[in-house]
Amino acid sequence: MPQVWQSSKKGIVVHLRVTPKASRNGIKGIYIDGNGKASLKVATTAQPEKGKANKAVIAILSKTFKRAKSDFTVIAGETDRNKTVLIDGEDGDVLNWLRPALEGYGNDSN
């Protein structure tokens, strides 16, 4: 599986490709852009206005990974579909639950 995360001093950084106004909320797989960069595809029914989509993305990640919403922070791309999220915590602890949780998501270039 392509790597959608990287370590940082404050935790793990995850790259997202967000689809707002989708028919259903959820993680939809892996997105590979034209440069080969991998991102986790996240769909939300929320509108991309006034931070609604960002809040919805955090809620989806929180529910999917069974972690507190406060563990997730959008650190880049607040008004873009390509977002970067910081997952707060020790690298090893975060990776212990993140890696297995991501194993079920396939590769998709759309």
Task: Quick: pLDDT tens for 12-37.
Answer: 899 999 999 999 999 998 899 999 99
| Cβ atoms within 10 Å of 44's Cβ, excluding its own | 23
Task: Quick: pLDDT tens for 70-95.
Answer: 999 999 999 999 999 999 877 667 77
To 5 degrees, how large is the angle CA 84–CA 90–CA 91? 65
The burial class, CB within 10 Å (0-12 / 13-18 / 19+), for 60 is buried
- CATH homologous superfamily of 5-108: YggU-like (3.30.1200.10)
Whole-number pLDDT of residue 22 = 96
Q: How much is the pTM?
A: 0.83
> Token match 């993305």: residue?
57
For the chain, the distance separating the N- and C-terminal CA atoms, rounded to the nearest angstrom, is 16
